[in-house]
Structure 1
Amino acid sequence: MNTRRTLLLAVVAALAAAVNLNAHARDPKELVIGTSSGPYADQIKLGIKPILEKQGYKVKLVEFNDYIQPNFALAEGSLDANVFQHIVYLNKFAADHKLALSELIKIPTAPIAIYSQKHKTLNDVREGTTVALPNDPTNQARALVLLDQMGWIKLREKADPLKASERDIAVNMKKIKLLPLEAAQLPRSLQDADYAFVNGNYALASGLKLKDALITEKISPAYANLVAVRSADKDKQFAKDIAAAYRSREFLAVTNKYFADYAKTDYQLALEK
């Protein structure tokens, strides 16, 4: 009797799974895209979603307030794509957690920059000046490289600019005090810290303006944000349509109108020539 009950339950479970799969297959044009709150969500709302909806897609946007959940949600299938990270972060996160995720296309990116509510210039730096910066390895490296370029610290000669950490600081010339924080907390840190490195998306989401930054990084391709998908989905039609939306002249017009201070992608620069 127990064997028959077990077999019956297994059949019911299999049928339920098949129903779920078939339901998903019946609506292949329903897309769920995850992103961080702020400008990258706005890029999708203003530019990408309207283009995809004209092609018959139903687009649902899910906004996250951290850099951890979006990749797990993508890997487990809750999302079809996510938009919040650069390739250095994606590769490290995917390797650390054994996730099969891939870059689909790079997107216009707001740079990381230094802001201050206490100082109007970088010349106010002195011994004990507090500088808040991201605590995640890849974005912290960006901040340290910029500090090195500014002459506030000196990194070890052989330090990898994509992986630099506080351990790579050879000399702290200005004797500044570094305050590593979660990226989402950096705008708030301006109330206490002298200066803070703030990722572009969190800066804009908090009301900061890119033009008000005291210094801005020149974004390298390694730090341009991107659309990520599951590796198995990279060649599927929905992925191709998302990429085409970002490459379109319509999205270039949206970028020029609403995201003029962002670092444009190579394909956008090519369209403008």
Structure 2
Amino acid sequence: MRRNTKWGLALAGILLVLIAIFGLSRRSQTQASDSKLQTVTIGVAAGPYGDMANKVLGPLLKKRGYQVVTKEFNDYVQPNKALNSGEIDANLFQHGLYLKTFAKANHLKLTAIAQTPTLGMGIYSKKLSKLSQLKAGATVSIPNDPSNLARALQLLAAQQLITLKKNIDVTTASKADIATNPYHLKFKTLDAAQLPQSLTNVAITVVPGNYSWSAKLDPSKALALEKLNDNYKEVFVVKTSKQNSKFAKAVKSVLNSKAFKQAIAKSEFKDFDKPTAWQ
């Protein structure tokens, strides 16, 4: 019995040594593999796109030799300037129209290489379960900045809650461009970041995607979601001089891959509006 016990202890000791050696070997292999990756920094803003870069895009790019690191900015100005100066390698935080307008106004040479799934503006409520329950004279909170205000009015018009005047530029629509208001809705304009907090005081609120995500509003529970046109879909951006680089080509390939589409379909981003190229 004693001999068997000694042999058992010896075998256990040998197994522990082998396991430790195997673990160290696997760890060293992983470290060696990671050391071969090229680190790329993607600028993001608060909202879903940093999460998308880290959780979905990053793992797929790792298979192609890139280690994704995100850098979060507190505004919509610095990510483009940081990219233009070379501080970051790419950014993912803006729609195509904003990029075009901002780059032109600031003389930046930046290029969108692909669209990504985009969380559109949504109509949310804590008091209603569907828009048909909306009563006449209800108060609606909407964004006060011109771009988001125009989009909010377009979404309300798409849901037949208001109509807009004909022959206007809907991208610059304001409350003065409302033609009819059959529900006699009362509009409360707020800073976009404050809209989720207004839910307890209004019947419905129209919230841009970034702010609804930050407030943990579930897009699948929105009473209506914006159907985005090309101009308002999020874009992955690099310096124009780098648009044909190996990294840019890898990103384009990943964003249009079956693996990326499947990963999005299984993720919290599944309800986002899809890139035009996917349709």
In the aligned structure 1, how far is the partner of 2:226 from the partner of 2:45? 21
Displacement of 1:195 in angstroms is: 1.7
Judging changes above 3 Å, is the alpha-carbon distance between structure 1 residues 250 and 164 closer, same or farther for their aligned structure 2 residues? same
Q: How many residues align?
A: 242
The answer as to whether partners of 1:88 and 1:138 remain within 8 angstroms in 2 is no
SS of 2:172's partner is coil
Map Cα deviations across residues 164-217 of structure 1 (whole Å, 9 max, x no partner).
233423344433333333433322232333321112333233221112111122
For residue 257 of structure 2, the aligned residue among 236, 239, 248 is 248
Question: What is the match of residue 7 of structure 2?
Answer: none
CA distance in 1, matches of 2:193, 2:91: 17
Secondary structure in 1 aligned to 2:266?
helix
Residue 124 of structure 1 aligns to which amino acid in structure 2?
A: L
**Any residues of structure 2 matched to 1:203-218 within 5 Å, and which?**
203-218=212-227
Deviation at 1:116, TM superposition (A): 1.1
Matched position secondary structure for 2:100: helix
Q: Which residue of 1 aligns with 2:25?
A: none
- Does the Cα contact within 8 Å between 1:52 and 1:59 map onto a contact in 2? yes
Classify 1:100/1:191 alpha carbon distance in 2 versus 1 (closer, same or farther; 3 Å).
Answer: farther
- RMSD of aligned alpha carbons: 2.5
Question: Within 2, Cα distance between the matches of 1:243 and 1:182?
Answer: 35
Paired residues for 1:1-273 under 5 Å: 29-122=38-131, 123-127=133-137, 129-258=138-267, 259-269=269-279
Q: Residues 76, 192 of structure 1: CA spacing in aligned structure 2 closer, same or farther, 3 A cutoff?
A: farther
1:157: how far off? Answer: 0.8
Contact 1:109-1:262 at 8 Å conserved across structures: yes
The offset of 1:65, in angstroms, is 4.4
The answer as to whether partners of 1:66 and 1:184 remain within 8 angstroms in 2 is no
Alignment TM-score, normalising by the size of structure 2 = 0.76
Moved over 6 A (4+): none
Which runs of 5 or more structure 2 residues have no equivalent in the other structure? 1-35
Structure 2 vs 1, CA of residues 91 and 130 (structure 1 numbering), >3 Å: closer, same or farther? farther
SS at match of 1:190: helix
Classify 1:102/1:182 alpha carbon distance in 2 versus 1 (closer, same or farther; 3 Å).
Answer: farther
Taking every aligned residue pair, what percent have the same amino acid on both sides? 38
Name the stretch that deviates more: 89-98 or 77-86: 89-98
The one-letter amino acid of 1:264's match is K
Aligned residues of 2:123 and 2:223 also touching (Cα < 8 A): yes
Is the 2:125–2:199 Cα contact (8 Å) retained in structure 1? yes
Q: CA contact under 8 A between 1:89 and 1:138: conserved in structure 2?
A: no
* Whole-Å separation in 2 of the counterparts to 1:189 and 1:93: 30
C-alpha displacement of 1:233: 2.3
Q: Is contact 1:46-1:254 (8 Å) kept? A: no
TM-score relative to the length of structure 1: 0.78
Cα distance in 1 for residues equivalent to 2:135 and 2:104: 38
Using the TM superposition, give the Cα deviation of residue 150 of structure 1 relative to its aligned residue in structure 2, in angstroms.
Answer: 2.9
CA distance in structure 1 between the aligned counterparts of 2:74 and 2:163, rounded to whole angstroms: 33
**Shift of the alpha carbon at 1:61?**
0.4
Q: State the Cα deviation string for residues 54-86 of structure 1 (Å, max 9, x = none).
A: 333232101234433322332333222111221
Alignment partners' CA distance in 1, 2:240 and 2:62: 24
The answer as to whether partners of 2:45 and 2:73 remain within 8 angstroms in 1 is yes
Q: Is the 8 A contact 1:131 1:176 kept in 2?
A: yes
| Structure with max Cα Rg | 2
- 1:150-173 Cα shifts (integer Å, max 9, x gaps): 333332211122332334233444
